[in-house]
Amino acid sequence: MKKVYINGVGSISTQRTFDNKAFLEEVIVYEDNVITVVDPNYKDYIPPAAARRMAKGIKMGMVASKIALADSGLENVDAVITGTGLGCTIDSEKFLGKLIDNKEEYLTPTSFIQSTHNTVAGQIALGLGCKGYNFTYVHASISFESALLDALSQLQNDEENNILIGGIDESGEQTIKIHKLIHHVKKEAVKSTELLNSGTEGAIFSEGANFFVLSNKKQQNSYAEIIATETFNTLSKENLPLAITSFLKENKMDIADIDTLILGNNGDISYDPYYHILSEGSFKNTQQLYYKHLCGEFFTATSFGFWLASKLLKTQTVPEVVKLNDLNNNGIGTVLLYNQYRGENHSFTLFQKC
């Protein structure tokens, strides 16, 4: 099996991450219960004629993918694989809104065409002229990991050499309203620096697009090697430590081999205990980081965690703002990323310095 490397990254998030030269030197602190991305100047990347039908999520995905591709030094890829929890919700809402407002008459095609889940991957491929494998996974909060699993499998087996993968989710007004109604969004505004002390249910909802060029050829500017990823739809708190040790064992490692653990704590009092089991238990002597106070919660938020792991391993620096405990390493060799959302869709991803 071939090794797989991260050769380019591109991130549009609630921080100014679209600038690849920076690494969280300046952090934006929010105090709200729904936050939106810091927009790059989309016109610098997408011609106005092409952009006029694109909702925010499509623009975010297009730009993040262009940044990742430029970062990798490649001009095209063999395949495009994306993950999205909810797809193009803004266009879906627009289409359904018109359906109701116009009493099922006078429906125009634009928002319907753009509302499909595969719109972002399709637009990227059209822009690149990439006629290869094009796929979008819509698997709730493991959508990004599903795209990653697919890419890993194809690259390890040498079916493709360079694959663009990404996680995208945009905030639609109605979608946020529904998530507020079912209390998945916190009722109150929370300062991002106080997220883990909020003591309330729900999360700070957000949006973002994080793209990566994965390759089975190492480059001088490679960020990291991806060792493995594994997902679980259901996993109890009691079985979580065992599942992690089994995952590590399958990859010929144990807990002591992990230099840095990145956790997906989102300040939800009901589900953060999953993370506490690890941070206070088997990983209590491991450096621990978190990131959802920076990027908020969305179905593909782990793609931001993936971005964080990539940057950590390449730069060998840990921004103060992501530290969950005070432990430090003499260099970072191995990183484990763990995430779950509302107690479901658990994922482990293992990275190594290259």
Partner 1 sequence: MGNIKLELKEKIIEQLNLEDMTVDEIADKDPLFGEGLGLDSIDALELIVMLDKDYGIKLADPKEGKKIFESIETMAAYITEHGKK
Residues near partner 1 (CB under 8 A): 48-49, 52-53, 102, 105-110, 113
Residue 316, both tokens: 């060998």
Please state the closest distance from residue 107 (CB atom) to partner 1, in A.
7
Residue 201, both tokens: 């249910």
Please state the closest distance from residue 111 (CB atom) to partner 1, in A.
10
| Closest listed residue to residue 163, CA positions, set 134, 126, 122 | 134
Residue 214, both tokens: 């994965």
Whose Cβ is closer to partner 1: residue 109's or residue 129's? Answer: 109
Calpha distance 3→226 (Å, rounded): 8
Q: Hey, is 76 helix, strand or coil?
A: coil
Please state the closest distance from residue 326 (CB atom) to partner 1, in A.
49
In whole angstroms, how far apart are CA 42 and each of 25, 106, 315?
23, 31, 27
Whose Cβ is closer to partner 1: residue 110's or residue 193's? Answer: 110
Could you identify the residue written with the tokens 């634009």? 110
Whose Cβ is closer to partner 1: residue 106's or residue 199's? Answer: 106
Whose Cβ is closer to partner 1: residue 108's or residue 329's? Answer: 108
Whose Cβ is closer to partner 1: residue 110's or residue 285's? Answer: 110
Please state the closest distance from residue 108 (CB atom) to partner 1, in A.
5
CA angle, 51 as apex, 210 and 14 as ends, to 5°?
Answer: 35
Please state the closest distance from residue 49 (CB atom) to partner 1, in A.
6
Whose Cβ is closer to partner 1: residue 45's or residue 351's? Answer: 45
Calpha distance 206→165 (Å, rounded): 20
Residue 29 CB burial class (10 angstroms; 0-12, 13-18, ≥19): exposed
Whose Cβ is closer to partner 1: residue 127's or residue 333's? Answer: 127
Please state the closest distance from residue 52 (CB atom) to partner 1, in A.
4
Please state the closest distance from residue 120 (CB atom) to partner 1, in A.
18
Beta-strand ranges (E) seen in 156-207 are 162-169, 190-191
Residue 22, both tokens: 């920076």
Calpha distance 121→126 (Å, rounded): 9
